[in-house]
Amino acid sequence: MTSLTTPRTAASTDDRTERIERIRQAAYRIRRNALDMGEVQGQGYIGQALGVADVLAVVYTDQLRFRPEDPHWPDRDRFLLSIGHYAIALYAALAEAGTIPTAELETYGSDDSRLPMSAMASYTPGVEISGGSLGHGLPVATGMALGLRHQGNGARVYDLLSDGELDEGSTWEAALACAHHGLDNVTAIVDVNALQADGPTAGVLRTEPVTDKWRAFGWHALRVDGNDVAALVEALDELRAHRGSPGVLICDTRIGRGVPLLEGREKAHFMRVEEHEWQLARTQLEEGLTR
Amino acid sequence: MTSTAPKKRLTTSAMIASFADPGQRTTSAPFGHALNRLAEQRPEIVGLSADLAKYTDMHVFRDAHPDRFFQMGMAEQSLLGTAAGMAEVGLVPFASTYSVFATRRAYDFLCLDIAEPDLNVNVVGALPGLTTGYGPSHQATEDLAILRGCPNLTIVDPCDSVDIEQAVPALADAPGPTYLRLLRGAVPTVLDEYDYRFQLGKAAELRTGRDVVLISTGLMTMRALQAAARLEADSVDVAVLHVPTIKPLDTEAVLRAARTDRLVVTLENHTVIGGLAEAVAATVAYAGVGTRVVPIALPDEFLAAGALPTLHDRYGLSTDAVVARVRAELGGAAGHRPPAVWPADPAPATA
């Protein structure tokens, strides 16, 4: 468990290789946390959590400025989980970040738990908004960024959304507003796993070319392999330094990443994992780390 | 003061129409000026608009405090989401647009981003109910019905410029979210002639009377007062209870008014479904009070386009229509009651 009070940016003296390895270890623990939580319910957005774990590891252990013991610290960077149904991934990351105790993860989705299956701000320390209804994160991020800038607060606002969320018009309303107001304190992160509730994104409502769309809306857009920690670090460092327009990192991720057993699974959007498969999944995950 | 002036040239279905009577005292842009005065005292006040600053009196604030005004463009979901984000970091936003767009179009954002986290965001909706002749695209006849079901939300329907001027600081002081049904432009000034102060959540008895009690909200309080004065000439003694806060409703005041032998009539600039009439009827019924409630409200239908005075008369909101309805209720023989909602028989449902 880490206890970050300041960001480790490119200016840090960390050796780059050491930095990448540290984040990889964090990503492993986030995946492991997610599998442990998934086992409690037997099903859920496990595939997405495994897919987005590297992104969350970079964000929470390398980029965000926050105090795990003081989730309402006014100068904190805000991380908005627009895709509330990715809660399992966020809780796994918040445990890794030290905001919630790892032991509490076993209450995930249970009655009276602080960790409901869809993330809600009023329940969980470190959860900034109640997402879940899609297309809300970027508008709220816009307001936070405008407000923080108005107050002279240098904190940044990150919004994690999904490629399916690009269907929602409000996302594009906010994209226009961020660019119009020159909000370079906003970073959107788009998890492109190419899958949504009714099937592959290409068949539900085609969103590509995603990068061109953001650029046309006036954003500084980068696209990386969302499971490549080194590429994520480099891109987020660049977006942090960029001035004059909002930045977006488009991350191509793979559902179930890190657990071969789950990577190829049909019905991957809302995944069911059999009882006997959990230990196998954990073993496969561990093997991946040591490779 | 009456709407029966002969040969009055009616304007047609203009977007921005006035419901002030000819020659009536008005105040220009009371919301914009009230927000200015408040902003001078409180640096955390900010204003937002969705391409309608000029038409929601927000331009007054924009021009006085350009650094605290944020234009979001014609994008109401973004408007309300952004206002929520600003409140999350400690600002007190007033976000204005037309009521139809704030409620129909951006309801999910009002509900989840603003009301669920109980943020101090003040949503200001212009053209509430029937205050434009532009047709159903712009007539927010069901905004109260949509919003009354939203937890945490305080809903205010002011009568006039006095109400608006006093409500604005009260809405900012209220820690949770609010929705203000905005009367814009040249707004009638009526309540200064009464011993009245706006108090959030409180109803105010503007007149006492033995025969009839009119429970009214919004601009219909002005019509209620006019109707009461007209009926007084016929020796009908009419009380008026003004209910500027629709939610939370001042149920004590409503029950005091309804526990009575008087004729109880509600008046609202809103569809008869889900607004003041049903709120009062429910209050009365839940308390076990057997009083009949006569609703004066807009019919459950999409309304016509046209000149506002014509429409107010047609749909029963004009002072003439209110007086006629009360007289009919008072004079109606037992067993013969007019339909609950319409001033005249509606067209039959089938031919």
State the average pLDDT for chain B.
93
State the average pLDDT for chain A.
92
Bridge partners of A81, per DSSP, are: A160
Q: Check if B109 contacts A (Cβ < 8 Å).
A: yes
Residue predicted with more confidence, A246 or A132:
A246
Distances, alpha carbon A149 to alpha carbons A119, B6, B84, B121, in Å: 27, 58, 15, 19
**pLDDT at residue B339, rounded to an integer:** 45
Q: Which of B290, B216, B226 is nearest to B246 (CA)?
A: B216
Contact residues on chain B for A173, CB-CB shorter than 8 A: 72-73, 75, 77-78
Neighbours of A142 (CB within 10 A): 33
- B147 vs chain A: nearest CA distance in angstroms? 18
Averaged pLDDT for residues B92-105? 98
CA atoms of B158 and B143, how far apart (whole Å): 14
Tens of pLDDT, residue by residue over B162-177, are 999 999 999 999 999 9
pTM, entire model: 0.91
What letter does residue A199 receive in the DSSP assignment? E
Bridge partners of A247, per DSSP, are: A187, A220
Tens of pLDDT, residue by residue over A206-248, are 999 999 999 999 999 999 999 999 999 999 999 999 999 999 9
**pLDDT at residue A289, rounded to an integer:** 84
Residue B242 backbone phi and psi in degrees, to 5: -90, 125
Give the SS3 label for residue B107.
helix
**pLDDT at residue A265, rounded to an integer:** 80
Residues ≥6 apart with Cβ < 8 Å to A80: A128, A129, A131, A137, A140, A141, A144, A157, A158, A159, A160
**pLDDT at residue B8, rounded to an integer:** 61
Averaged pLDDT for residues A16-42? 94
Strand ranges of the sheet holding B263-271, from the earlier edge strand across to the other edge: B204-207, B238-242, B212-216, B263-271, B293-298
- What type of residue is A209? P
Which of A74, A140, A170 comes nearest B85 by C-beta?
A140
Question: A274-278, B215-219, B259-263: which has the minimum mean pLDDT?
Answer: A274-278
Q: How confident is the model at residue A45 (pLDDT cuts 50, 70, 90)?
A: confident
- What type of residue is B199? Q
Cα B67 → chain centroid: 31
- Beta strand pairing status for B69-71 and B45-49? parallel
SS3 content of chain A, % helix, strand, coil (to 5): 45, 15, 40
User: Chain A: which residues have CB within 8 Å of chain B?
Assistant: 74, 121-122, 128-130, 133, 135-136, 138-148, 150-151, 153, 169-170, 173-174, 176-177, 180-181
Cβ distance A136 to B113 less than 8 Å, yes or no, reads: yes
Q: How confident is the model at residue B348 (pLDDT cuts 50, 70, 90)?
A: very low
Q: Check if B68 contacts A (Cβ < 8 Å).
A: yes
Which of B85, B91, B117 comes nearest A141 by C-beta?
B85
Does pLDDT of B287 surpass 80? Answer: yes
- Residue % of chain B over a pLDDT of 90: 88
Give the SS3 label for residue A252.
strand
Residues ≥6 apart with Cβ < 8 Å to A237: A9, A10
Does pLDDT of A11 surpass 80? Answer: no
Which of A133, A146, A177 comes nearest B73 by C-beta?
A177
**pLDDT at residue A271, rounded to an integer:** 79
**For residue B309, is the peptide bond before it cis, meaning its omega torsion is within 30 degrees of 0?**
no
Please give the radius of gyration of chain B, using alpha carbons only, rounded to the nearest integer.
Answer: 20
Nearest residue in chain B measured CA to CA from A178: B72
Which residue bears the tokens 């500027």?
B244
**pLDDT at residue B338, rounded to an integer:** 46
Cβ A143 vs Cβ A173: under 8 Å: no
Q: Which of B300, B247, B293 is nearest to B271 (CA)?
A: B300
Lookup: tokens for A91: 């809780």
Q: Check if B152 contacts A (Cβ < 8 Å).
A: no
Cβ A75 vs Cβ A114: under 8 Å: no
Question: A26-35, B208-217, B323-332: which has the minimum mean pLDDT?
Answer: B323-332
CA atoms of B255 and B296, how far apart (whole Å): 18
- Residue % of chain A over a pLDDT of 90: 83
Does pLDDT of B178 surpass 80? Answer: yes
- A239 vs chain B: nearest CA distance in angstroms? 22
Q: What's the CA dihedral at B100, B106, B108, B113 to 10 degrees?
A: -120
Contact residues on chain A for B78, CB-CB shorter than 8 A: 139, 142, 170, 173-174, 176-177
Cβ A87 vs Cβ A118: under 8 Å: yes
Please give the radius of gyration of chain A, using alpha carbons only, rounded to the nearest integer.
Answer: 18
